[in-house]
Amino acid sequence: MKIGISLRNSGPAANRSNFIQCAQGAEAAGFDSLWVFDHVAIPPDDAEGSDGIYYDPLASLCFVAACTERIALGTGVLVLPYRPALPTAKWIATLQALSEGRLLLGAGVGWMPAEFQALGVAREQRGQITDKTLEFLKRCFANDLVTENDQEFLFRPRPAAPPIYIGGGADHAIERALRYGDGWIPIGKGPEAIADNISEYRDRAAELGLATPEIVTFGQLPLNDVDQAQALCATYETAGVTHLVHAVSYQHAAQFLQEVEGLQPLLAALR
C-alpha cells in the first residue's frame, strides 16, 4: 500500500517557504505522494482555521512540482463544477507535463452552497457539470484534435492522462468512477465502513472488463509506534485501500517535519 501525506494549501501555514520545506521533506522521507485540497470562496462565518486563505490546488502543485523530483502530486479533490472545462483541462495537462507525469487527479462535485453562490454556478447541476467535464477531459487526453462548441482545436501539450479518482459518497461516486475514473476517494470513513462498497465496486469493474480500481483515502496514522501504524495500515489494506494519505494539521514547517520523522519507521517497515 502506498502512503501519502497532506500538504496545507490553506491558512497561515500555506506559504512559499512552507511549501518548499514540507514538500522536499516529504519526498526525502520516502512518502509516495503529497495532497492538497480545494476551496475558492470561503464565507467569513466559515473561515475558522483558514482565515479564508486557500491557494488554488493546481497552481500550488505546479509550484511544488518545480521544487521536487519524484513524489506524486494529488488533489483531494478538485471540485470540477467550480471551473470551466477547457481551462481546467489545460491546467491539468500543463501540470502533468511539467511534473513529468506525477499528477494524481482526485475530482469531485463539491458541496458548499456559499461557494456555488459566489461562483454563480447552480449547485443542483453540479453532478451534471462534473460528468460533462470528466467526459471532456477524457476526450482531450485521447486526441490532439478536439471539437467543442462546434470548434476544432489542438489540445497540446497532451501528456499521458493522469489517473482520475472520483471523490464522494459510495453510490454516486462509484457510478461516476465506473464511467470516467480509475478509482474512488471515500472521504471521512474508516476502513470497516467502506470495505463492502470497495468490494462491490471492484466486482462491478471486473464485470465491465475494467482494470482493478485504486482506492485512495485519508486518515491519521499513529506516530512513533510502528507496530500500531502497521496494524492500522493492514486494516485499511484488508478493506481494499491501495493508497492511504496521512492528514496532518500544522502551523509551520517544523511541525510538519516532526510528523514526517514520526512516520519514517513505518515507511521503512513498508518498503
At 238-257, the pLDDT tens digits run: 999 999 999 999 999 999 99
271 pLDDT band, cuts 50/70/90, is confident
Average pLDDT over residues 3-10: 98
Gap between the Cα atoms of 7 and 67, Å rounded: 14
Omega of the bond prior to 162 within 30 degrees of 0, cis? no
CATH number of the domain to which 95 belongs = 3.20.20.30
pTM of the prediction?
0.97
Q: What is the pLDDT of residue 93?
A: 98
Beta bridge pairs of residue 152: 147
pLDDT digit string, tens, across residues 37-94? 999 999 999 999 899 999 999 999 999 999 999 999 999 999 999 999 999 999 999 9
pLDDT digit string, tens, across residues 191-206? 999 999 999 999 999 9
φ/ψ of residue 141, rounded to 5: -80, -10
Residue 151 near residue 181, CB atoms below 8 Å: no
- pLDDT higher than threshold 90 for residue 188: no
- pLDDT higher than threshold 90 for residue 107: yes
Gap between the Cα atoms of 44 and 67, Å rounded: 33
- pLDDT higher than threshold 90 for residue 258: yes
Q: What is the pLDDT of residue 211?
A: 97
pLDDT digit string, tens, across residues 12-45? 999 999 999 999 999 999 999 999 999 999 999 9
Residue 140 near residue 85, CB atoms below 8 Å: no
Structural domain boundaries, residue 19: 2-270
189 pLDDT band, cuts 50/70/90, is confident
What is the tally of structural domains in the chain?
1
